[in-house]
Amino acid sequence: MQVADLYVRVSTDEQTKGYSPRSQEAVLRQYCQLRNITVRQVFVEDYTAKHFNRPEWRKIMIILRKQRNRTDLLLFTKWDRFSRNTSDAYQMIDVLKKLGVEPQAVEQPLDLTVPENKMMLAIYLTAPEIENDRRGLNTKAGIRQAKKEGRYMGKAPRGYINKAYEDGRRYITLHEPDATIMRWVFNEVGEGLYSSESIMKQANKKGLNIDKNTFLINLRNPVYCGKIRVAAHNDEPAYLVQGLHEPLISESLFYKVQDIMDGRSKILKGLAIATPKDLPLRNFIKCNRCPRMLTGSASKGKTTYRVYYHCRSSCGVRYRAEDVNNAFMDELTTFIPRPGYPELFVASIAEAYGNQHRAIKEESDELILQISTANKKVDAARELLILNELEPSEYRKIKEENSSIIARLEMRLNEVNVQKSTHVNIKKLAEMAVRALCELDKLYDISSIEAKRYLVGILFPDKITYAEGACRTLKLNRGAELIYLENKALRAQKKGQKPLKKSLPHTGSVAVRNSNHFVDELIELGSFSKILKA
């Protein structure tokens, strides 16, 4: 009497709750009863047949290898229950034969010892594979078309939730409180003050509960600014379309975050949000023996704890936190403008920025020229493609690269055009900044730990060095630097000399960017007190 193992398979877990598994098992048992075949075990699978890396199938192979010659047949209803991959199916049939097991579909029986039956086997195996491939192509085409029309397909990213209309069409909409937290995340990363990892930890404390990999993927997702990415396909390059969903953030903020993550923006990054109150300068002080930044910690003495700034490496650099903090306070007092000069500083800055404002039009013209040049490159590549002088793959690469360049240039052009029509009260900003600098040491002394680190970050972008009991820095905030340069120049100026020529560096399109950064830095200098504790 022959012995058989029965194999029942459906594609999904939901189908196991339906009638199909019981129906297949009933057909197989009836087949065995009519032919006097003993049923040994029944295996029920809820997995795809595109490959044999299936949980139940792995269990079957382990049993068959351990218990050789105890099973004669492996029965299933149809060959598509066995496999929907022709090449894998032939290999598995050979493996089973070597184990002394004959696979057989009871509703599509074949005597595989007859050579001609191999042709029928190929038909039985190939037809389901073709059906699978066609269904897959149709599904992919439908998903691609839906994306082109601005619909988000797939599981909603954090901050959104999947919903469906009455007609079955799916869409995504904002989901609180995750949406508010993700908006906060983008704003914090865009500020450039803290590392993405420390921002992620704070977001998780707020209730986001996200892992690092998903967090970084979300920061790259254009869905948050209202865009849908359509992937490259055949000769069509990847591109972005306007989505139908509500954007969580602005496009300018999204691309600002991308620049920060790609390292295209010079920002203050790598700082931890949570810092002990006795270590406001942690990760701001350069080690003078190695390239690392000094961290900080407390060590227990006989009766109390002592706090130190120290290097993580084996170079041995270590300073008492109290000494470094006091030296930094002394250094701050040297940057306080001399009494009587704030009005002159404000007038100087206002005049310099006014002279520089014409550079906005120069950058606008330069951006238009760059966009035109990029479009001409794409047009030239298209001509070469038509003349068969350029491979399609090379053309796609050129078009994709230039499309990305054009998108960024157009975004920047829109910002510049907005600046043309925006009036900045530079005098008021300068007054705020100078007022803050006049009370620099006092403001720093009464600030919270967060405000202290914020001030250090915006005032000293190139970090601080500590040696021989004193703190030094090589580069200042651009707004503060101009004020202090003017301060020194005014001290050296003799009576009767002509006033100094006041202008910011002028190098075409760079000038407006410098001017815009300068204004941003003045705003930061003048408004950092907003994060002081009341």
**CATH number, domain at 118?**
3.40.50.1390
Separation between Cα atoms, residue 465 and residue 438, nearest integer Å: 23
Residue 326 sits in the same domain as residue 387: no
Average pLDDT over residues 66-76: 90
396, amino acid identity: R
Residue 496 sits in the same domain as residue 404: yes
Which residue's entry shows tokens 């238009």?
368
In percent, the amount of the chain with pLDDT more than 90 equals 19
Task: Name the most confidently modeled range: 144-148, 188-192, 331-335, 523-527.
Answer: 144-148
Q: Is the pLDDT of residue 517 over 80?
A: no
Residue 186 sits in the same domain as residue 210: yes
Residue 355 sits in the same domain as residue 404: yes
Q: Where among 331, 352, 369 does a domain terminate? A: 331
Q: Is the pLDDT of residue 76 over 90?
A: yes
Angle between helices 392-420 and 509-527 (to 10 degrees): 60
Phi-psi region at 168: left, alpha or beta (left = phi > 0; alpha = psi -120 to 50) = left
Domain count for the chain, please give it.
Answer: 4
Residue 89 sits in the same domain as residue 199: no
Confidence (pLDDT) at 134: 85
Confidence (pLDDT) at 176: 92
Separation between Cα atoms, residue 192 and residue 185, nearest integer Å: 11
Model confidence over 445-485: pLDDT tens digits?
887 777 787 778 777 777 788 888 888 876 776 656 666 65
Residue 322 sits in the same domain as residue 393: no
Terminal CA-CA length for the chain: 90
Separation between Cα atoms, residue 52 and residue 72, nearest integer Å: 20
Question: How confident is the prediction for the chain on average, in pLDDT?
Answer: 80
Beta bridge partners of 309: 296, 319
Residue 324 sits in the same domain as residue 432: no
Q: Is position 11 annotated as part of the catalytic site?
A: yes
Q: Where among 209, 227, 262 does a domain terminate? A: 262
Residue 319 sits in the same domain as residue 339: no
Classify residue 16: in a domain, yes or no: yes
Residue 314 sits in the same domain as residue 340: no
Confidence (pLDDT) at 60: 92
Confidence (pLDDT) at 39: 92
Task: Name the most confidently modeled range: 179-188, 194-203, 301-310.
Answer: 179-188
CA-nearest of 522, 123, 464, 437 to 268 is: 464
Q: Where among 105, 134, 163 does a domain terminate? A: 134
Classify residue 140: in a domain, yes or no: no
Per-residue confidence at 527, pLDDT binned at 50, 70, 90?
Answer: low
Please give the angle made by the CA atoms of 454, 411 and 218, to the nearest 5 degrees.
Answer: 60
Model confidence over 89-140: pLDDT tens digits?
889 999 999 999 999 999 999 888 888 888 888 888 888 888 888 888 888 8
Separation between Cα atoms, residue 178 and residue 202, nearest integer Å: 13
Which residues have C-beta within 8 Å of that of residue 287, sequence separation ≥ 6?
Answer: 293, 294, 311, 313, 315, 317
Residue 311 sits in the same domain as residue 349: no
Residue 356 sits in the same domain as residue 497: yes
Which residues have C-beta within 8 Å of that of residue 15, sequence separation ≥ 6?
Answer: 21, 46
Classify residue 533: in a domain, yes or no: yes
- Domain of 204: which CATH number? 3.90.1750.20
Classify residue 364: in a domain, yes or no: yes
Structural domain range at position 27: 3-134
Classify residue 208: in a domain, yes or no: yes
Classify residue 511: in a domain, yes or no: yes
Query: What's the pTM?
Result: 0.48
Classify residue 162: in a domain, yes or no: no
Indicate the SS3 state at residue 408.
helix
Residue 363 sits in the same domain as residue 433: yes
The count of other CB atoms within 10 Å of the CB of residue 179 is 18
Classify residue 161: in a domain, yes or no: no
Least confident of 142-146, 244-248, 343-347, 482-486: 482-486
